[in-house]
Structure 1
Amino acid sequence: MSIDKTTVSKIASLARIKVTDQDLDYYAPQLQNILDWADQLQEVDTTGVEPLANVSEIALTLREDKVTDGNIQPAILKNAPESVEGFFVVTKIVE
C-alpha cells in the first residue's frame, strides 16, 4: 500500500485531526516508512518461536476480587447541594 497526500488527508479526517497541505507533504513519507517497517516485520521467520505475552518471567500475584459499594456514598452526597434518597438532585434540562 502506498501512502500519498490523499490517504493522509483521509486518515486525518477520520481521526478528526486538522492537517495543513504543508503537513500532508511531511506526514505521507513518515506513514509510508511505518508501513514499510511493518512489512519488514512480516518477513521475519518466527517458526518455532513461542508466542510471548510478557517479557518478564515474574508472575503477578493475583488477589480475589471483592465487590463492595465503597461505603463512601454519604461523603460524596455531603458535597451535593441537594440529594434525595441517596441520589443527586439536578435541575430538569429536557422538556
Structure 2
Amino acid sequence: MKITDETIDYVSALAKLVLSQEEKEKAEVDLGNILGYIETMNELDTEGIEPMSHAFPLKNVFREDVVTNGDDRDNVLSNAPVKKDGSFVVPKTVE
C-alpha cells in the first residue's frame, strides 16, 4: 500500500496533530516501513499457533478472596456510640 500525502493528512487530523512538511515526509516513510513489516509478518505460516494476548505467560498473582473475620457483628458494634437493630446509627445527611 502506498502512503500518500492525503493519507498522512487524514491520519494526522484523526490524531489532532499539526505536522510540518518535514514531519509529514518522515511520517510517510515511517508508516510505509510499518506496513511493509506487517506484510512481511503476513507471509509467515501461523498454522497451528494459538492466539495470545501477551508475549509472556501471565498468572493470577492475587490471593483467593476468603472471608477471615466471619460474622463478628456484636464485637464490631461494641464500639459504636449509637446502634439500633444490629446496625450503626449515623446522623441524617440528606434532607
Query: Which of the five TM-score ranges fits, normalised by the shorter chain?
Result: 0.5 to 0.7
Structure 2: stretches of 5+ with no match in the other structure: 66-92
Q: CA deviation at 1:14?
A: 1.2
Shift of 1:2: 1.1
Residue 50 of structure 1 and its aligned partner are, at CA, apart by: 2.1
Instruction: State the AA in 1 paired with 2:17.
Output: I
Count of aligned positions: 66
Match of 1:49 in 2: 49
**Larger-gyration structure (1/2):** 2
TM normalised by structure 2 equals: 0.57
Q: Give RMSD over aligned pairs.
A: 2.2
Deviation at 1:59, TM superposition (A): 2.4
Using the alignment, how far apart are the partners of 1:22 and 1:58 within structure 2?
A: 42
**Offset at 1:21?**
1.4
CA–CA separation in structure 2 for the residues paired with 1:28 and 1:48:
35
**TM-score, normalisation: structure 1:** 0.57
Q: Percent identity?
A: 23
Long gaps (5+) in structure 1: 65-84, 87-95
Change (3 A) 1:61 1:41: same
